[in-house]
């Protein structure tokens, strides 16, 4: 932990003992500026990006690996550092092995979870490249494409676009992305990020390299947990034994490991504990379903769908004994009709955010009713929903 982080840690003290000092450091959807134990992956990405240090574009590439392996964390951190380095050195990168400076391409990160249409994709790329804000309304897709070509048409450098979370339900598909990319100028290359194996995606038909990201090894995951806890929790809030327990359970998935840590910390705080004990740990782990949907997907949902999910979690077992029953109760506390809520609930189940469980013991004729069970870490979602201003 650096000096600045240590100073901030001291300043957070307000005279009252607290276990959780900073939620952001514990959050599974937060990427820190220096990812832990991902050095080999970083080196492979730098090898791929090596042409930019001579002012050239790298070829298209595909980064793949399972959920929670740190793909997004490494790419976002690397692009952030490269962008800042360019700004600090007046868009020129100097190296110890090259005698002259070379103008480097720009770097743009696009999250497919939040960019689900042609308009949104071109808007995200253009907005990252120009200094002025690009309007979200009153402008058409073709106008955005035209401005992109104008912005990059006279450039000698171009841009590298990282497109993350391709292939997830509700996002643009790999094939759709290839079509979108065809609408960009020729001096643009892309770094696609997904979970599918290279043999299972059309993306590799257009890439020169595939970069694999392996799941975290157990000790690496312990390091991730202890690093996050060193900033997010009070001193001695998490011991190595507890971190090893979480890491062993998570089986290489940093998202689920951090969700379990977050849930354990919330449980310990509610119980007035000054550190996470065994009971807190068990509760935090039990609150993370396996397999678990990434919280990034849930928090990327439109606001009305997040409100419906939040209300669903507040219902008793009887109140959510069926989709119809849950819809009627939720509609009483959100500004949506029961029919609309029901449609949203079915959409969430269809996309895998929740799971429909058939009630076998139901009496009567016809299709038996079903209830919905969340497939994401509910304790973490509740707190992040509130921190993001979702409380009404």
Residue 298 pLDDT exceeds 70: yes
Q: Higher confidence at residue 104 or residue 222?
A: 222
The mean pLDDT of 62-82, rounded to a whole number, is 93
Q: Note the pTM of the prediction, 2 decimals.
A: 0.87
Q: Kindly report the CA angle at 154 between 151 and 157, in degrees rounded to 5?
A: 90
Query: In the predicted model, what is the mean pLDDT of the chain?
Result: 86
Residue 153 pLDDT exceeds 70: yes
The mean pLDDT of 147-152, rounded to a whole number, is 86
What is the length of the chain?
A: 392
Q: Which residue has the tokens 């595909």?
A: 62
pLDDT value of position 12: 52
Distance CA 300, CA 206 (A): 28
Start-to-end CA distance of the chain, whole Å, equals: 36
Q: Higher confidence at residue 79 or residue 391?
A: 79
Evaluate whether 89 touches 103 at the Cβ level (below 8 Å).
no
High-pLDDT (> 90) share of the chain, %: 62
Q: Higher confidence at residue 163 or residue 5?
A: 163
The mean pLDDT of 46-52, rounded to a whole number, is 92
Residue 72 pLDDT exceeds 90: yes
Helices (H), 291-337: 295-299, 303-314, 323-331
User: How many whole angstroms from its chain centre is CA 35?
Assistant: 14
The mean pLDDT of 161-178, rounded to a whole number, is 92
Evaluate whether 81 touches 109 at the Cβ level (below 8 Å).
no
Residue 122 pLDDT exceeds 50: yes
Residue 211 phi/psi, 5-degree rounding, is -115, 115
Residue 202 pLDDT exceeds 50: yes
Give 339-346 contacts, CB < 8 A, sequence gap 24+: 341/308, 344/304, 344/305, 344/308, 345/308, 345/312, 345/372
Segment among 28-32, 207-211, 277-281, 360-364 with least mean pLDDT: 360-364
pLDDT value of position 303: 93
Q: Higher confidence at residue 4 or residue 285?
A: 285
User: What is the sign, positive or negative, of the torsion defined by CA atoms of 208, 172, 298, 386?
Assistant: positive
Domains of the chain and CATH, by start: 3-29+216-287 (1.10.8.60), 38-212 (3.40.50.300), 295-376 (1.10.10.10)
**Residue of 386, 297, 296 whose CA lies nearest to 348:** 297
Evaluate whether 284 touches 249 at the Cβ level (below 8 Å).
no
**Residue of 122, 207, 121 whose CA lies nearest to 171:** 121
Largest CA distance in the chain: 82
Q: Do the bridges between strand 102-103 and strand 92-93 make them parallel or antiparallel, or are there none, so unpaired?
A: antiparallel
pLDDT value of position 3: 55
Distance CA 224, CA 122 (A): 35
């Amino acid at each position: 932990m650096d000096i600045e982080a240590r100073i901030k840690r001291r300043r957070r003290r307000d005279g009252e003992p607290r276990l959780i000092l900073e939620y952001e450091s514990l959050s599974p959807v937060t990427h820190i500026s220096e990812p832990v134990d991902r050095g080999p992956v970083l080196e492979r990405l730098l090898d791929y990006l090596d042409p930019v240090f001579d002012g050239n574009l790298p070829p298209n590439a595909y980064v793949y690996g399972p959920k929670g392996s740190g793909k997004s964390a490494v790419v976002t951190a690397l692009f952030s550092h490269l962008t800042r380095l360019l700004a600090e050195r007046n868009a020129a990168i100097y190296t110890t092995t090259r005698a002259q400076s070379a103008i480097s391409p720009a770097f743009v990160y696009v999250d497919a979870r939040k960019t689900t249409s042609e308009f949104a994709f071109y808007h995200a790329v253009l907005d990252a490249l120009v200094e002025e804000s690009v309007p979200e309304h009153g402008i058409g897709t073709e106008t955005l494409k035209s401005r992109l070509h104008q912005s990059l048409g006279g450039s000698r450098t171009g841009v590298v676009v990282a497109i993350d979370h391709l292939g997830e339900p509700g996002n643009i598909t790999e094939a759709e992305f290839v079509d979108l990319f065809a609408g960009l100028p020729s001096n643009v290359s892309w770094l696609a990020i997904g979970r599918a194996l290279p043999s299972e995606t059309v993306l590799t038909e257009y890439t020169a390299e595939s970069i694999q990201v392996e799941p975290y090894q157990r000790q690496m995951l312990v390091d991730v947990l202890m690093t996050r806890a060193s900033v997010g929790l009070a001193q001695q809030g998490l011991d190595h034994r507890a971190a090893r327990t979480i890491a062993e359970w998570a089986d290489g998935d940093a998202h689920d490991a951090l969700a379990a840590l977050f849930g354990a910390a919330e449980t310990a705080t509610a119980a007035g504990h000054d550190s996470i004990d065994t009971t807190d740990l068990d509760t935090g782990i039990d609150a993370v379903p396996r397999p678990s949907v990434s919280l990034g997907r849930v928090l990327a949902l439109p606001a009305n769908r997040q409100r419906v999910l939040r209300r669903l979690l507040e219902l008793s077992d009887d109140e959510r004994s069926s989709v119809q029953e849950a819809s009627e109760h939720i509609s009483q506390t959100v500004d949506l009709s029961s029919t609309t809520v029901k449609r949203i609930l079915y959409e969430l189940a269809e996309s895998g955010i929740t799971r429909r469980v058939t009630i076998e013991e139901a009496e009567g004729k016809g299709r038996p009713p079903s209830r919905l069970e969340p497939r994401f870490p509910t304790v973490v979602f509740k707190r992040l929903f509130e921190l993001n201003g979702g409380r009404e």
